[in-house]
């Protein structure tokens, strides 16, 4: 029974639950980012750029006489750069939304000199 109790305590700790939620959300977010790159950015930006340099299908680029497909590597590297840039823009926007508007500071009280002068004024008014 001690083993089950320990496991229960471990499984319901806040950190474990937060991690589980993070992994699930991360997987779903990964699909969104992959779809954005594959379905929006690649056809709109990457394909025209590749056509301009006559390299429409990167996966077919190989070193002649070898089995080295450097085109696949280039494709993966370009995808990484595009995904990293998209995530940067997305996180930058999210951080901008999270920032609190700077609140106006409460007016500072009178300085010690001003306080002393006000006390002198009040004493003079009494006389």
pLDDT of 103: 65
Contacts of 36 (CB under 8 A, 6+ apart): 86
Cα–Cα distance, 33 to 74 (Å, whole number):
19
Q: CA 72 to CA 58: how far, in whole Å? A: 6
Across the chain, what does the average pLDDT equal?
Answer: 79
d(CA 71, CA 58): 5
Band of the pLDDT at 14, cuts 50, 70, 90? low
Cα dist from 36 to 30, 64, 99, whole Å: 10, 34, 26
This prediction has a pTM of 0.46
The yes or no reply on domain 2-100 and CATH 1.10.1200 is yes
**Mean local confidence (pLDDT), 89-118:** 79
Closest CA to 34 of 23, 44, 25, 42: 42
């Amino acid at each position: 029974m001690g083993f089950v109790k320990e496991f229960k305590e471990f499984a319901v700790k806040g950190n474990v639950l937060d991690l589980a939620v993070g992994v699930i959300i991360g997987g779903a977010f990964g699909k969104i980012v992959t779809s954005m790159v594959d379905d929006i950015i690649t056809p709109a930006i990457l394909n025209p750029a590749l056509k301009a340099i006559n390299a429409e299908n990167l996966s077919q680029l190989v070193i002649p006489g070898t089995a080295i497909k450097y085109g696949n590597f280039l494709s993966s590297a370009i995808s990484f750069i595009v995904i990293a840039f998209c995530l940067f823009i997305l996180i930058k926007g999210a951080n901008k939304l999270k920032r609190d508007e700077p609140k106006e500071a409460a007016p500072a009280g009178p300085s010690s000199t001003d306080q002393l002068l006000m006390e002198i004024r009040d004493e003079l008014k009494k006389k």
